[in-house]
A and B are shown apart, each in its own frame.
Chain A
Amino acid sequence: MYPQNFRYTKEHEWVRVDGDIGTIGITDHAQQELGDIVYVDLPKVGTKVTQGATAGSVESVKAVSDIYAPVSGDVTEINSTLADAPEKLNSDPHGDAWLIKIKLSAPAEMAKLLSADEYQKYIEAEK
């Protein structure tokens, strides 16, 4: 279920690192909890994000939830296809429906994040 090559936060974001670029999304568990997603608010390209700080929000029919940056860096790309098709976050949260890409400024922060197994255990314990 949860890809082994991702790292996860307790706020239910994931990050996949290729070189110095981190791709960030929300987890399958997060989309299930939120329900039908109707709107995604993403930061502008060039914005500096800080680990643990707000980097946008996801709106479902029942709530608006902040997205917290799993790692720090500069936003290099945003997934603009989500503006017209936010429901992709419900169908493919770990793939096509990534949110933002950032150039990592502190790769050492990755060590603080959860592995796939740790995240799996964490959400089971939360239930």
Chain B
Amino acid sequence: MRYLPKSDSERRAMLDVIGVESVEDLFAHLPEAVRLKRPLDLPEGISEYEIVEYFRARAAENANGYAYFLGAGSYFHFRPVLVDTVVSRGEFLTSYTPYQAEISQGTLTTIFEFQTMICQLTGMDVANASMYDGSTAMAEAAMMAVRATGRGRVLAARSVHPEYRAVLKTYSESQGMPVEEFGYVPEAGTIDLEDLDRKIDDLTAAVIVQSPNFFGIVDQVRQAAEIAHRRGALLIVVFSEAVSLGLLAPPAEADIVAGELQSFAIAPSYGGPYAGVIATREKFVRQLPGRLVGQTVDTRGNRAFCLTLATREQHIRREKATSNICTNQALLALMASVFMTVYGKKGLRELAEQNLAKAHYLAGLFRPRFCGKFFNEFVVKAEGKKPDDINKALLKKKIVGGLPLGRFYPELADSMLLCATEVSHRADMDAVAEAFQ
């Protein structure tokens, strides 16, 4: 199915068939008060020459040729060339929701493969066809836990990405789902298990932890699972750096895994669009929001794929749907699928090892603030300098520095979150360390 815009004559022909004068007449049943009585406030159309100029100028604003040490949820990794070759194919680029299995086997196959690879990476039984991004996947996971447990309260670690927690708060306000937070250990940067144990109660539906957490530290998933399960709550494990899954054990103790796949060949693109993922145990499959592709057989007994368990979705169950998400990020999930296929299990492990090695080289030039084990991000104190000033100095050397943490953690206002990946060069890393001197 391709997307082709309609011409004026085609619009005229369609209007004639249904017997109305203009497109505007189609809205005549709406009350006058809610109708816009002027054209949309958009600039006039411009020529192809002008539009190419416009985008060239915008592209020139990109920080090309810079080194990046900024992670915090959006990571600078190499994007294999094959990714764009595959996703640029018209069959993928312009296709719409694959409702009709008869004509959508290609798209459905890629989504099924995506779900399979996500299950292998996360150690879960079932994954959906993708979510908008990591933050919305986490919020949906929390609502899933509320439905599955019949309880209402959610406990999120402060070491979960602050913007993910902000999205969770937005969702919770209209869901009547109180969200509270528990702290981290100031020395280790890992979750404060005592604080969790103190705050969890029999009304708690879910405990949310991130690993590697926002400070880059591999967190205590197993211990969090023990505490959550002892009180009948579900454990949601969140990740924002998918490459870490190439090396770290899958969060198999989790009941739900929610994460962000930007690291898998999705360009940072000024914050989006990205692709989220949600995976869970088979017993919770009916609480899983969004699209799900299943394997079946056609009338001739051939292996085939189709959307499954769609009866709980919004277009069928209206206001009683499992979730108001009724779509997925098919094209971006496909980027992630091609990425995972290009690297393979061994390649992903090697990629993760390179990230680990480079980040630990960089960290070796500092004394990291937290003593917990980290993957490719870590927190450093800017002794005697302001993190923002260090970044300003680095920018002059064509280096994008780390994230000053004061914006999200007032107690860490003197600190910066640094990230190194497989594309970080030694000379740039040395320059970053020098800027802190």
Which A residues are within 8 Å of any B CB, using their own CB?
39, 41, 44, 59-64, 66
Determine whether the beta carbon of B317 is less than 8 Å from that of A64. Answer: yes
How many angstroms from the CA of A60 to the CA of B312 in the assembled complex? Answer: 11
* A39 x B150 contact (CB < 8 A): no
B150 touches A59 (CB 8 A): no
CA distance A59 to B320 in the complex (A): 13
The answer on a CB contact under 8 Å between A62 and B311 is yes
18 contacts between A and B (CB under 8 A): A39-B286, A41-B286, A44-B150, A59-B286, A59-B311, A59-B312, A60-B311, A61-B311, A62-B311, A63-B311, A63-B316, A63-B317, A64-B311, A64-B312, A64-B316, A64-B317, A64-B320, A66-B320
The 5 closest A-B pairs by CB, nearest first: A64-B311, A63-B311, A64-B317, A64-B312, A59-B311
Find chain B residues with CB under 8 A from A41 CB.
286
Q: Chain B interface residue count: which class?
A: under 10
CB distance from B30 to the nearest CB of A (A): 30
Q: Which B residue sits closest to A57, measured CB to CB? A: B320
Closest partner residue, chain B, to A62 (CB atom): B311
**Separation of A59 and B317 alpha carbons in the complex (Å):** 11
Chain A residues, Cβ within 8 Å of B311: 59-64
- Chain B 294-335 interface residues, beta-carbon cutoff 8 Å to A: 311-312, 316-317, 320
Contact with A along B145-158 (1 / 0, CB 8 A): 00000100000000
Nearest CB of chain A from residue B293's CB, rounded to whole Å: 16
- B297 CB to closest chain A CB (Å) equals 15
**Chain B residues within an 8 Å CB radius of A62:** 311
Given contacts A63-B311, A66-B320, 15 further A-B contacts (CB under 8 A): A39-B286, A41-B286, A44-B150, A59-B286, A59-B311, A59-B312, A60-B311, A61-B311, A62-B311, A63-B316, A63-B317, A64-B312, A64-B316, A64-B317, A64-B320
Closest chain-A Cβ to B149's Cβ sits at a distance in Å of 11
Q: Given the complex, which residues of B lie within 8 Å of A64, measured CB to CB?
A: 311-312, 316-317, 320
Q: How far is the CA of A39 from the CA of B286 in the complex (A)?
A: 9
Cα(A41)–Cα(B287), bound, Å: 11
Q: With a CB–CB cut-off of 8 A, which chain B residues contact A66?
A: 320
In the bound complex, what is the Cα–Cα distance between A61 and B286 (angstroms)?
13
Residues in A with CB closer than 8 Å to B320 are 64, 66
